[in-house]
Amino acid sequence: MILKFSIRNIWRQRSRALAVLATVALGISALMIYHGFNAGIMNQYRDNTIRARFGHGQVNTKGYRDQIWDRPWERWIDPSSPFVEELKQRPEVEFVFPRISFYALLNNGEKTLSGAGEGVDGISESQFFTTLNVIEGKILSDEEDGIILGKGLAEALKVKVGDRVTVLANTNAGSLNAIDVYVTGIFFAGMKNFDDTFFRIQLSKAQELLDTDKVETIALGLKNLEDWPIIESWVAANKNFEATPFNVLDKVYYQNSVDFLQAQFGFIFIVIVVIVVLGIFNTVSTIIQERKGEIGNLRANGDSHNEVMTLLLTESLLLGFAGATIGIVLSYLCNWTLLSQGIQMPPGPGITRQFTTFVELQASFIPVCYLIGIFSSVIGTAMAGKRILKLPITELLRG
C-alpha cells in the first residue's frame, strides 16, 4: 500500500520529482564518467608499460637483479633449458620473449654515440609489443639486419629509415666486436632517457655481437594479466629462478606515476562525491519543505509520524533509484557519443608527449553509484522530514 501511494505521489508531483531525478541523474553521471576517466588513464599507463617494453613481467636467475655482477653472463639463461621449455608450456603463458640487454657504441660513419641496446626476437615481439609508437618506418620484425632507434638517438646520429649503423660492443671474452645493421624504424615513447639512448636489434645479432648463445632475461606475455601471481608462484618454486612483475620493473615511469595519479584522483573524487551528495540533499530538503501543507493534511487525517516518514522515505528511495539509473544510462550515452573520440591529454608524469585517453566506464562501479544516489536522497529526506514532522499540525497546515 505504501509503495502504491508513493508512486501516486511521485506522479502527482511530477515537477518536483523531475527536479530530484535531474539532480541525482546528473550527479551520478558525473561520478560515473569521472571514475571511468581515471580508469582509462590508469589502464593506458599499464597497457603502454606492458605492450611497449616489459610484457607482464620477466624471469631471471635467482638474485640476478639484486646486485651488479662482474661477469653477469655467467648467470644468464640457457634458452633451450628444461625450465624454459616448461615455461613455454604453461597454460597462462602466450608469449616467451628471450632478451639480452647491453651497452654499445653506434656509428653512422661520421660520429659515434653510446646507447643502451636490447636484443629481441623481432618476429614474436612484433605480435605483442604494439604501443611503442613508431613514428617512422616500422617496428622490428623479421628484418635480420634491422635496428629500431629512439627518436632522440636517431636525431643525434642524424640517421633515417634505411640508413646503415655500425654497432660496436665488447664480447663476453672482452674483445671488441662489431655488426652492421640498417634502420628499420624510429620510435617516440615520450620518455626522454628512453628515447635518447634505447635501440633494439635482433636477438641473433646481439648474441653474435656479444659472442654468446645464452639470454639475459625472459619477458613474458600472458593470456590474462590476472594470471601473473600463478606464474610468479610457479617460478618461485624453482630455486634457481625468480619472476618480477612489470610494475616493479618500471617503478619510475609506471608505478610512481600511478601512485601519484591515484592519490590525486582519490582526493578529487572525494570532493566530487561531497558536492554531488550535498546537491542531492539540498534539492530533496527544499522539496520536503515545500510539502508542509501536504504533510499537515496527512497528520490531520490521523497518519502517525512513522507512517508519514515511511511514505516520504519510500518516495525518495524510488526517486534515488530511478535517478541513479538515468545517470548511469546517461554516462554511457555520453561516452558513446560526445566522448567517443577520446580526450586529448597533455604530457603526464614521466613522459614528454601528448596522448589520447578514453573514458572506460566500469560496470563494477555501478553498485556504488546506486548506493550514492539512494543514500543521498533517503538521508536528505529523512533529515528534512524529521525536522518538518516536529512542527505542530496547525503550523504545517498553514504551509
Q: Which residues lie closer than 8 Å to 222 by C-beta, 6 or more apart?
A: 55, 56, 92, 93, 94, 228, 231
Q: Are 77 and 200 part of one and the same domain?
A: yes
Is the pLDDT confidence value at 352 over 70?
no
Q: For residue 219, what pLDDT is reported? A: 94
Number of domains in the chain: 2
288: exposed, middle or buried (C-beta count within 10 Å: 0-12, 13-18, 19+)? buried
Is the pLDDT confidence value at 280 over 70?
yes
Q: Are 32 and 142 part of one and the same domain?
A: no
Q: b/e string for 7-19 if b means 16 or more Cβ within 10 A?
A: eebbeebeebbeb
Furthest-apart CA atoms within the chain: distance in Å: 103
Q: For residue 103, what pLDDT is reported? A: 93
Q: Report which DSSP code applies to 110.
A: S
Other beta carbons less than 10 A from residue 72's beta carbon: 15
Q: For residue 315, what pLDDT is reported? A: 80
Ranked by mean pLDDT, which of 128-132, 198-202, 263-267 comes out on top?
198-202
DSSP states of 38-74:
HHHHHHHHHHHHIIIIITTEEEEETTGGGS--SSGGG
Q: Among residues 207, 382, 360, which one has the least CA distance to residue 284?
A: 382
Q: b/e string for 297-325 if b means 16 or more Cβ within 10 A?
A: ebbeeeeeeeebbbbbbbbbbbbbebbbb
Q: Is residue 123 part of a domain?
A: yes
- pLDDT, tens digit, for every residue of 38-63? 888 888 888 888 888 889 999 999 98
Amino acid at site 334: C
pLDDT above 70 coverage of the chain, percent: 94
Average pLDDT over residues 266-272: 83
Q: Are 203 and 268 part of one and the same domain?
A: no
Q: Is residue 245 part of a domain?
A: no
Residue whose entry in the numeric block shows the C-alpha cell 613508431: 134
Q: Are 41 and 70 part of one and the same domain?
A: no
DSSP states of 364-398:
GGHHHHHHHHHHHHHHHHHHHHHHHHTS-HHHHHT
Alpha helices in 185-227 (DSSP H): 192-197, 203-210
Is the pLDDT confidence value at 338 over 80?
yes
Q: Are 6 and 102 part of one and the same domain?
A: no
Q: For residue 273, what pLDDT is reported? A: 78
- pLDDT, tens digit, for every residue of 193-227? 889 999 999 999 999 999 999 999 999 999 999 99
Q: For residue 351, what pLDDT is reported? A: 66
Q: Is residue 243 part of a domain?
A: no
Q: Are 11 and 108 part of one and the same domain?
A: no
Q: For residue 343, what pLDDT is reported? A: 84
Q: Among residues 94, 68, 64, 49, which one has the least CA distance to residue 214?
A: 64
Is the pLDDT confidence value at 74 over 80?
yes
Mean pLDDT, the chain, integer: 86
CA dist., res. 164 & res. 35, Å (int)? 48
Q: For residue 148, what pLDDT is reported? A: 96
CA dist., res. 30 & res. 373, Å (int)? 12
Give the range of the structural domain holding residue 218, as residue numbers without chain letter: 63-238
Q: pLDDT class for 259, splitting at 50, 70, 90?
A: confident
- pLDDT, tens digit, for every residue of 234-247? 998 888 899 999 98
Q: How far is CA 381 from CA 309, 367, 384, in A?
A: 9, 21, 5
Q: Are 37 and 114 part of one and the same domain?
A: no
Q: For residue 348, what pLDDT is reported? A: 64
Q: Are 40 and 119 part of one and the same domain?
A: no
> All 3 cell numbers of residue 90?
604453461
Q: For residue 200, what pLDDT is reported? A: 95
